[in-house]
Amino acid sequence: MKITSIHTTPVLAPLPRPVRTASGSIERFPLVLIDVGTDAGVEGRAYSLVYLPELLPALDRCVAGMAGMLVGRELAPRDLHVHLQQRCRLFGLKGMTGIALGGLDMAIWDTWARARGEPLARALGAELRPVKAYYSVGLYDAASVIEIAEEARAGGYAGLKIKAGFPSFAEDLAAIRAARRALGDGLALMIDYNQSLSLPEAMARCKALDDEGLAWIEEPVAADDFESCARIADAVRTPIQIGENFNGPGEMRAAIAARAMDLAMPDPQYIQGVTGWLEAAALARTAGIPMSSHLFAEAAAQLLCATPTADWLEVMDAAGGLRRSPLELRDGCVVPWDAPGLGIEWDETAVARHRA
């Protein structure tokens, strides 16, 4: 089976509410939808994501350009992944090229699994199962976070992750304690600093949070500063979570070697798609590190089924306003779709409405 076409569609996907972080707000998610065609009539799909709408045209062109390297080739996901790696070796696979590779890799694996008539997890040799899920939101102060925590409880999630990184630690602590009270017993609470702190400030704030019962503290300092991450992980009792910014499995391997984290959460796009995720899952298994996901809930729900140390699925549903089917949440878990590939089917009316 050969690839005959790969089409891209840039969109600004709607969100229930803006996602505010310590670095700014995301009003809508800039996505590039990727649709693969084959000479057997099998079609596959996935998407790439960039946080800034100003960069959406560049991502669209990058995905389309790299897609042209695949048209006419056999539908063999690992071979195609290696082909793109080789073609991009001189330029590198960070930034736009890495993002484009990750999205294309997911779309190719989706097409391959659809050709087999199986969900991706089953095509990879795993069984579908519910995956423990948490609700992931933005930066909310002590007053506004109460409604968010109640929303997480009402939605049936097993946990809630809120952003942190207010100008003062007192504001962080007030929001965390308000969220904890509103969540009640039985739901996990995580926080994410989104790389916003210096090492001294991160060390002080994280140590001060050790008695707050947090499931983890995420990215307190720059994501690629593995030495500082390791110092914090060694000094703080609360588990330190990093990984969403690993550019490929090689960076995860380096982070493990540096003891930079207690927990890992690769992003299916940044880790270089399904191919990169499977390598990352093997690294996590060898190191005995629980592995969660970042964004891309459709792909991550399938991939966590095939991950030996699978932990949490993040639900910040970037493409939810463009799909035909909502995520299915049951007893605190997302139930992966029992449909070929990733199970994504676009609502073409919504796609047309939000096309950039």
Catalytically annotated residues:
163, 294
Distance of CA 135 to the CA centre of its chain: 13
Q: Which helix (H) or strand (E) holds 341?
A: none
Q: Which helix (H) or strand (E) holds 268?
A: none
Decide if 62 contacts 96 (C-beta within 8 A).
yes
CA-wise closest residue to 264 among 298, 299, 236, 229: 229
Decide if 315 contacts 332 (C-beta within 8 A).
no
Q: Name residue 186's amino acid.
A: G
Helices assigned H by DSSP within the chain: 56-67, 77-87, 96-116, 120-123, 145-155, 169-183, 199-208, 226-235, 249-257, 273-287, 297-305, 348-354
- DSSP-derived pairing of the beta strands 131-139 and 333-334: antiparallel
Beta bridge partners of 113: none
Region of 285 on the Ramachandran plot (φ > 0 left; ψ -120 to 50 alpha; else beta):
alpha
* Residues written for the chain: 356
Task: Give CA angle at 338 (265, 17), nearest 5°.
Answer: 50
What's the CA gap between 278 and 241, in Å, rounded?
A: 19
The phi, psi pair for 235, rounded to 5°, reads -90, -20
What's the CA gap between 106 and 262, in Å, rounded?
A: 27
10 Å Cβ neighbour count for 290? 17
What's the CA gap between 99 and 89, in Å, rounded?
A: 15
